[in-house]
Structure 1
């Protein structure tokens, strides 16, 4: 039985993750974390009426629950601190919060090696999204002209999304840096061409009603290729989260990207 805590359980993704852990026979939910929550136990919420799980408001007290895995769906400004804290206490982090820099990933990876503790930071936990990124990387060998369009709900704080950045990173491994579009093109409205990553462009859409969607559009002479993934419900991410919780227990360092566990 893997003992798990969920940080950010009141959020949309955190709530979905909490319910996934409760429903999984190989997991035991030993605590949830929210520094602003007034309630002391999940049983005080109508949807968790029969669940006896303590609510913690600080991470130090949470250690009393002796968790094996720390699931984190919080805010970008807290995720680095939480992941560092988990690793320092030899708790395996499974992190879906985005906004980490390359320096953050490097620091946390080195810390995990020092502590010999497994962990996972994944911009996207949907299996289909991971395949979309892998297929895009393969296609980029033959179609170096590519633009990424990511679409999310209007409450998402970071742009571009972690998935879009991860996709661009994977494409750049096989694609030489190349400035796309006309050499003399001019933006008559600033930002019209999107963010620039090694010459490829990333566009972010934020609208109510969306969940998480991404389209990777390739152009060639006389043809085009579009690779798209859509998450219509947050439950689409839970298979990847559950896989991550199991896999990190078997590892002794942190990995970045769910594709590294498949």
Structure 2
């Protein structure tokens, strides 16, 4: 059975890599594409392909959803992803979320909406296989080392902080870690904000977001014990290729679930 896919953010960094992958996959079909500035153009040409895909780019997701489809993939912007997801759910579509910027409350609302509509949503802070392994190894380490903090690196122009990768990691670490030995932020003198932001339930996990030129996306979890440290780090390159395989896996699996699943690691096994 062919899965019909709407690509929201079709001319973005990841979208341009996903459009040809969807077109060439035997079990997938590009049913729609969304990119405001490229509205009316052929989706293949707009994504940089040498030939037409036979699908016109829509200026809005509402317009793209007028055609039959099964799954909406969102790689847009933090201020648009939640509305796009809820709209897609209301139209009976499954959703794969690759856009960062959503928090725990947003995901709870999305999960409730998806369960009510009987559709599936898969969201990941990072669809890269190696970034998923960072998360898996960090969660393993947190069972043995209570003190952990996260450093989140991205380009100077990235609008959200922390990144989706760091935020998802911090939220899940906060659920399983033991109490930290460092002073809580409420007891820090000087400039408490210099200790970063606490992300996740309870005391949370401290996340420090750097936004500087020359970085693309990097995330490191630093664990500390007396006289020793462990650093687990992921660095993304300049290509969006690492995110394609994980997103395609999510597209193929999202129709088999109801409600929200967070993290590519939930699908890997």
Question: What TM-score do you get using the length of structure 1 for normalisation?
Answer: 0.91
Q: Name the counterpart of 2:226.
A: 221
Identify the residue that residue 151 of structure 1 maps to in structure 2: 153
With over 3 angstroms needed to count, the CA separation of the structure-2 counterparts of 1:102 and 1:23, relative to structure 1, is same
1:251 aligns with 2:257: yes
CA contact (8 A) 2:10 2:43 kept: no
For residues 153-191 of structure 1, give each alpha carbon's deviation from its aligned partner in whole angstroms, at most 9, with x where no partner exists: 22211111121121112112222343625996534x563
Tell me whether 171-180 or 23-32 shows the greater mean CA deviation: 171-180
* Secondary structure, counterpart of 2:145 in structure 1: coil
Query: Partner of 1:117 in structure 2?
Result: 119
Q: How does 1:1-262 map to 2 (within 5 A)?
A: 1-42=2-43, 44-45=45-46, 47-51=48-52, 52-178=54-180, 180-181=182-183, 185-187=188-190, 191-197=193-199, 198=203, 200-232=205-237, 233-262=239-268
Gaps of 5+ in 2: none
Count of residue pairs brought into register by the alignment: 261
| Cα distance in 2 for residues equivalent to 1:61 and 1:177 | 49
Tell me by how many angstroms 1:230 deviates: 1.5
Going from structure 1 to structure 2, the CA distance change for 1:25 and 1:38 (only over 3 Å counts) comes to same
Distance 1:45 1:165, change over 3 A: closer
2: CA distance between counterparts of 1:210 and 1:54? 34
C-alpha distance in 2 between matches for 1:146 and 1:48 = 44
Aligned-partner Cα distance in 2 for 1:30–1:192: 47
Note the alpha carbon deviations across 1:39-67, whole angstroms, 9 max, x for none.
Answer: 33235548234122111113232123311
C-alpha separation in 2, matches of 1:83 and 1:178:
36
Aligned partners of 1:167 and 1:45: how far apart in 2?
A: 34
User: Any conservation in 2 of the 1:4–1:27 contact (CA below 8 Å)?
Assistant: yes
Equivalent residues of 1:156, 1:206 under 8 A apart: yes
Matched residues in 1 for 2:162 and 2:260: separation?
23
**Separation in 1, partners of 2:40, 2:11:** 12
CA contact (8 A) 1:216 1:226 kept: yes
Q: What is the RMSD computed on CA atoms of the aligned residues?
A: 2.1
CA distance in 1, matches of 2:150, 2:60: 39
Measured after TM superposition, the shift of residue 96 of structure 1 is 0.8
Give the deviation of 1:222 after TM superposition: 1.7
Aligned-partner Cα distance in 1 for 2:86–2:121: 11
Deviates more, 1:230-239 or 1:46-55: 46-55
